[in-house]
Structure 1
Amino acid sequence: MAAEDLEWERSKISNQDTNMLKRLGLMKKEDAIRFPSEESYPKPPMEYRVSFVDHLIRGLSAPIHDFLRGLLFVYGIQLHQLTPNSILHISIFITLCECFLGIPPNWALWKRIFCLRRNGSHNVTYNIGGVVICVRTDVDYFDIKFPDSVQGWRKKWLYIHEESANSIEHNIIPFDGSARIQRRRSWDAEASEEEKKATEALMSRIHQLQNTRGKELSGVQITAYFLRIRVQPLQARKNPLWTYSGENDANRISSDLSSKDLEKLIRRISRLGKDPIPSSCRVEPYSSTNPLPENHPTMTSLPPLPEDGEVEEQAIVAEDTQGSSIPESEVAGSHKSAASHEKEIEKPVSRRNPFLLLFPQGTKGKGMMPRILAPLRLKKLFLLIRRQLMILILNPSSALMTRKKYQLLTWLLGRARHLGSSSTLLLDDPMIKELLRIGSQFIGYREYANRAEEKLAEANERADALAQKLEQSEAARKKAELAASEAKAEADEAKAKAAGVEELQKKLEDATSALNEHKAAQASREEGILKRLKTQSRRTFTQTNQDFDLTNPVDDPLLDALSYLELHGSEIREGVSNANAGLSALFPYFFPKKEEPSTFLNLAKMFNSSEDLGLKMRQENMKVAVENTVALVADSRQSVDWTKVGDTEQIEQSRWKSLIKAAKPNTKKILAYLGIKPASTPSSSRPEV
């Protein structure tokens, strides 16, 4: 059993994880997932593949997407060798392309953003999760905010069923736990100049999505979006995500998650801390309700698939050293730190190297010297070695001799010791030994000189840049001094105006306060008027069957009358109060034997009688006067024939006037006797009979 096989152990999937898979719709079909029983090493049944719980909750589902299948083929890796955060990287990239760029996942764009690295710690390299997808250090990409640790995910492995029965084009690579991870040139494959030019607009759009103020798009928003719409990005789908049609979309694998389950899932696969879960993306994704613009380019670009044949990028390069691996804890954190631990990888030796032409057919690239060579080939080999060393001695600066060629020469000489006594004599030749020693020194000195020249050129460039920055800083200093003097003058002028500004500000505040109070009083008054209008409208409607037009009060006679009444209300109320007081004062004189009414309306009705109240009062007063006169006559003890007095027809008018004239000087005495206070001026009114 290989050393990597020891990493596998018995699968331990909790009931909580099983319930989560059910709610996600990944176990809707009875045979979609099978859980291992007692085995401690994966043995998937026919048509099943090995996967992990943390892969499934990050967007993986069978049959897998062509883009993921192409990545596995080009990079020469298996599905179980990717970490959960690498799976999430691919899910976010596919969602970004289809929902926010409006294109299928683009292989050229992927190569501009991502590369692969080994996953390991100080003395351990992994097979399960031994490959990490990293963002290139020179690329400005979304901050995904991966969790600090995804511990225990390797223990939660299971089997998923491949659903493509009629074709194997979507199938996952069959599980092979004994296969070792080998680094390939494709891990660092970069986009060509033509691909960079074709994807420049896409990179600009990504930067715009990241940096548009108020509409910034983040990796957490993209993750929450594909979890919310219930579509697995890494699953082969009938339609792209830019045609998503809502609850009835054919690509949905389950109904909407509850807000509690959604938040729990996002916090599990993302590092948010106490930040709230985004309820939606700040940029509206493409969908059936937000279709792609007309003539929108699709820019299809997929990685090579197995049916397309082998690709050169799969060529295996030298094994990684321990320093080139990335600790898993660092990979789980910021995506920027991962690539910084990688060292430069040397390219394989060119097939045009003249030394490799000496190998027999079938021995190229195997890294070992054949044990038996024809004498002619051996002679040519040493002649070639000597010629190359002489070139080095005669022309040390020649670029034809590099360190790699020199190392190859010494390696060939070392392997040639196994070829027989004739080769040993050649190797013991003093000239060959001296050439080797001098060659080693020359190469070392030349490389040191080249590095020194490069450092000197770099230092000169930095000095020129510093001198230029110094000139710029001096100009900036003078400009700053001028700006400071101007600012000081403006400050003095502003200070002189400060008092006036403060006074104006205070007046403005007082005016604003008075205006607010007036507005509040006016609003209160208008509210009261509106309330009274509504009340009066109901009353008027019951009496006149006509309602106020409160929405359009133009030319409304009732509303105009009420407005007029509102304007003169105070005057009317004061007049009514005065009328009430006056009528109350007159009431005892006009109605001496009646009780005064309690309301002004009833009081006014009594004074609005049909009979002449003034005439009636004068008649009553005349009656009292006659009675008082009779009493006066009786008190004077004079005999009067009242029958003649009552017969007014027998009274002579001249005599009546003479009697009045004779009595007039004694009027005040008579009135005083009767208890009546005379007026200050004699009345000239004509007495009535």
Structure 2
Amino acid sequence: MPPRRLTRHNTPDSSMAAADLGTAEWERSKITNQDLNLLKKLGITAKPKAVCFPSEESYPAPPMGYRVSFVDHLIRGLSTPIHPFLRGLLYVYGLQLHHLTPNSILHISIFITLCEAFLGVSPNWALWKRIFFCRRNGSPNVAYNIGGVVISIRSTADYFDVKLPDSVQGWRKRWLYIREENDGCLEDNIPPFDGAEKILRRRSWDAEATEEERTSTESLMARIHELQNTRGKELSGIQIIVYFLKSRVQPLQARKFPLWKYTGNEDVDRLSVDLEVKDLERLVRKITSLSKKDAIPSSCRVKPYSATHALPKPVIKDLLRIGAQFVGYREYANKAEEKLAEANDRANTLAQQLEQSEKARKKAESDAIDARAEADKAKADAAGVEDLRKRLHTAETSLSDHIAAQSAREEAIRKRLTTQSRRFVARTAQEFQLDEPANDSLLDALSLLEVHGSEARGGIDQAKAGLSRLFPYFFPKKEEPATFLDLAKCFNPSEDLGLRVRHENMKIAVENTVALVADSQQSIDWSKVGDTDQIEQSRWRSLIKAAKPNTRKILAYIGIKPSSTPSSSKPEV
């Protein structure tokens, strides 16, 4: 796979009806001491700053230069910088590392180990498509984001029974940060983390090998069938897992040499020393469905290719050299040796041509992938432009509607303000003109209403002051209300307040008069005095007129300054 920067092409997945959990799946990492000891034994944490553990964050925030991974991915063969084939799969499928389940990571590790150690070839896209495909992980109602994609074996593929567990419990909670390394290239080796990015199904998830690819990989599929079915030398998926765990080389790591050049304990790509047998068996059972009752193979029945078991060369089998004792056949033997040398030369030429053809095929495959990626990107860009146009049209329509609604609202406010101003003029008979109008109907109407309001507030303040001065005379035993409205209500009862005050004053006047008469020590028949019905109106006026000189003296005595109003009416009862 070509070393390219991993990008996203948003192809809609119309087949997914389930809701994507997105960021809701993440929670605080819960890595145990047992996990730390296992990573240490595997040599994954031996390199300085290779791993960084989260603190209390409940959502990944990787430091600069780090990516998000999981303990269960690392123990299944993942290390940085990642293998170019894994980088290519992430690019073609449009995925990030956290989208893949632990079983999917193990499938890729087994495939790379099978290709390099038992087939003697680099892992390639054509062979992969004949065996695997991608599918969405989740239930009918919920689609996962962490582990949201599963790599599965095709039902038609003649492949190993790997015996993977149906579910890996709690793996989503054991996340950490691994140091990003670019393996000597300028592009990112691992896509930058984006936990909120949606998983979008691509056509590449179901991509099948072309007829040409099937033809070119037929010999490899035949070899896989032979590895599984050679009696006494059957190779199993568990044996492949045991082999890469014992070799201490991470299959999903970019390495200096492929596994067919593995040199053993001194290999430069080894991460740690050999695991103890009990640790190896415990780890195999942890990542597979094997139980304690199942035996763990100690080695492979098929010897893997390595530095001590070189790859076979495509040469013709050596002919038996005819010995000198066979007189008469020496000339034939010499000719046979010459033909053998000629055949070897032709074989070398064919090998070179085959190598060139393989390079051309890989280049063509790379160009095809690039072309498909560019086509997908062009489609995505076109869709993005069309979506942008629709959104712009929607925004313009919404803005026009908003402006129209705002204008209508301002006109309604202006009418209400004008109406209020007219009502004020009708009630107060006072109309105002603005000295400097703003020529803005809404603003001018508001200004006039403010002027009217100021006039109304002044009148209310004057009225309150006047009522406050009158309140003690009308309500001597009450406390004055704090608000003008309550104060005004006191002066609008059902009874006549003026009549009540006059009655009170008349009562006081009569009481004072009776007190003065009593003080004069005159003998008075009060029953006759109170019989006012017998007094005629003219008689009453003459009595009042005769009493005025003495009335002034009495009023002066009790501290009242008389007014000039006549007091000749009959008493009010």
TM-score (norm 2): 0.54
2:263 maps to amino acid: S
Provide the secondary structure at the position in 2 that maps to 1:202.
Answer: helix
1:178 to 168, 171, 196: 196
Asked whether the equivalents of residues 184 and 314 of structure 1 are also in contact (C-alpha less than 8 Å), the reply is no
CA deviations on 1:294-317 (whole Å, 9 max, x unpaired) are 24877565997899846349849x
* C-alpha distance in 2 between matches for 1:172 and 1:186: 19
2:88 corresponding residue in structure 1 = 70
Separation in structure 1 between the aligned mates of residue 209 and residue 374 of structure 2, nearest angstrom: 12
Cα deviation per residue 1:70-93 (whole Å; 9 max; x = unaligned)?
000010011100000000000000
8 Å contact 2:137–2:147 — kept in the other structure? yes
What amino acid is the match of 1:244?
Y
1:278 aligns with 2:339: no
- 1:287 counterpart = 2:306: yes
The equivalent position to 1:236 in structure 2, one of 254, 260, 275, is 254
CA distance in structure 1 between the partners assigned to 2:365 and 2:144 by the alignment: 26
Partner of 2:48: 30
Asked if structure 1 preserves the Cα contact closer than 8 Å seen for 2:94 and 2:202, the reply is: yes
**CA deviation after TM superposition for structure 1 residue 120, in Å:** 0.3
Q: Is 1:168 aligned to residue 229 of structure 2?
A: no
Change (3 A) 1:231 1:8: same
The answer to whether the 8 Å contact 1:59/1:232 transfers is yes
Task: Check whether the contact 2:114–2:240 (CA below 8 A) recurs between aligned residues.
Answer: yes
Of 226, 250, 255, the residue aligned with 2:244 is 226
State which of 284, 287, 298 in structure 2 corresponds to 1:269.
Answer: 287
**What letter is aligned with 1:26?**
I
Deviation at 1:30, TM superposition (A): 2.3
Go from structure 1 to structure 2 and tell me whether the alpha carbon gap of 1:307 and 1:20 turns closer, same or farther (over 3 Å shift). Answer: farther
Corresponding residue number in structure 2 for 1:141: 159
**Residue identity in the other structure for 1:214:** G
1:311 maps onto 2:311 in alignment: no
Aligned Cα root-mean-square deviation (Å): 3.1
Matches of 1:306 and 1:78, distance apart in 2: 23
Name the counterpart of 1:333: none
Corresponding residue number in structure 2 for 1:523: none
- Determine the C-alpha separation between the residues in 1 that align with 2:295 and 2:73: 24
Per the alignment, residue 131 of structure 2 pairs with 113
In the alignment, is the contact (CA less than 8 A) between 2:80 and 2:181 conserved in 1? yes
Q: Give secondary structure in 2 for the equivalent of 1:247.
A: helix
Q: Secondary structure at the match of 2:255?
A: coil
| 2:101 pairs with 1:100 | no
Q: 1:256 to 1:372 in 2, by over 3 A?
A: closer
Q: Which runs of 5+ in 2 are unaligned?
A: 1-19, 315-350, 394-573
* Structure 2 Cα separation of the partners of residues 240 and 200 of structure 1: 22
The equivalent of 1:42 in structure 2 is 60
For residues 386 and 92 of structure 2, the distance between their equivalents in structure 1, rounded to whole angstroms, comes to 22
| Whole-angstrom CA distance in 2 between matches of 1:371 and 1:155 | 39
Instruction: Give the Cα separation in 2 of the matches to 1:226 and 1:364.
Output: 45
Length, aligned pairs only? 330
Q: Deviations over 1:583-636 (max 9, x none)?
A: xxxxxxxxxxxxxxxxxxxxxxxxxxxxxxxxxxxxxxxxxxxxxxxxxxxxxx
Mapping of residues 261-660 of structure 1, within 5 Å: 261-273=279-291, 274-295=293-314, 301=362, 309=370, 311-312=372-373, 315=376
Contact 2:133 2:206 in 1 (8 A): yes
Shift of 1:371: 11
SS at match of 1:160: strand
Q: Which has the larger radius of gyration?
A: 1
- CA distance in 2 between counterparts of 1:174 and 1:306 reads 25
Change (3 A) 1:230 1:170: farther
Question: Deviation string for 1:466-510 (max 9, x for gaps)?
Answer: xxxxxxxxxxxxxxxxxxxxxxxxxxxxxxxxxxxxxxxxxxxxx
1:136 CA drift (Å): 1.0
Amino acid at match of 2:165: P
**Among the aligned pairs, what percent are the same residue?**
64
8 Å contact from structure 1 (residues 73, 305) kept in 2: no
Aligned 8 A contact 1:115 1:188 in 2: yes
Contact between 2:21 and 2:145, CA under 8 Å: does it hold in 1? no
Q: CA deviation at 1:237?
A: 0.3
Rounded Cα–Cα distance in structure 2 between residues aligned with 1:217 and 1:277: 13
- In structure 2, the partner of 1:125 is 143
Q: Tell me, in whole angstroms, the C-alpha distance in 2 between the residues paired with 1:26 and 1:258.
A: 16
When residues 269 and 193 of structure 1 are mapped into structure 2, their CA distance, relative to the original with a 3 A threshold, is same
Contact in 1 for aligned 2:132/2:151 (Cα 8 Å):
yes
Quickly say closer, same or farther: Cα 1:77–1:53, change in 2 above 3 A.
same
Contact 2:117 2:259 in 1 (8 A): yes
Indicate the SS of the match to 2:152.
Answer: strand
- 2:177 is the counterpart of 1:159: yes
Residue 208 of structure 2: aligned partner: 190
Distance 1:314 1:245, change over 3 A: farther
CA contact (8 A) 2:81 2:180 kept: yes
Q: Distance in 2 between matches of 1:130 and 1:218?
A: 28
The one-letter code of the counterpart of 2:231 is: R
User: Equivalents in 2 of 1:364, 1:59: separation in Å?
Assistant: 38
Following the alignment from structure 2 to structure 1, what is the Cα–Cα distance between the partners of residues 220 and 138?
Answer: 33
Is the 8 Å Cα contact of residues 108 and 191 (structure 1) preserved in structure 2? Answer: yes
* TM-score, structure 1 normalization: 0.45
Q: 1:200 aligns with which of 218, 229, 233?
A: 218
Is residue 246–residue 274 contact of structure 2 (8 Å, CA) maintained in 1?
yes
1:21 counterpart residue number:
39
1:103 to partner: Cα distance: 0.3
Indicate how the Cα distance of structure 1 residues 104 and 266 shifts in structure 2: closer, same or farther if over 3 A, else same.
Answer: same
Give 1:211's aligned residue: 229
Quote how far apart the aligned CAs of 1:148 are.
Answer: 3.1
Structure 2 SS opposite 1:201: helix
CA 1:211 to 1:73, structure 2 compared with 1: closer, same or farther past 3 Å?
A: same
Q: Distance in 2 between matches of 1:363 and 1:129?
A: 28
Structure 2 match to 1:600: none
For the 8 Å contact 1:54–1:153, the answer to whether it is kept is yes
1:11 aligns with 2:11: no
Residue 85, structure 1, aligned to residue 103, structure 2: yes
Write the distance in 2 (CA, Å) between the matches of 1:136 and 1:313: 28
Q: 2:72 is matched with which residue: 39, 54, 59? A: 54
SS at match of 1:191: coil
Structure 1 pair 173/371, CA: closer, same or farther in 2 (3 Å)?
A: closer
Distance of 2:365 and 2:195 partners within structure 1: 24
TM superposition shift of 1:118? 0.2
Does structure 1 conserve the Cα–Cα contact (< 8 Å) formed by 2:256 and 2:269?
A: yes
Q: Which residue of 2 aligns with 1:449?
A: none
Deviation at 1:213, TM superposition (A): 1.3
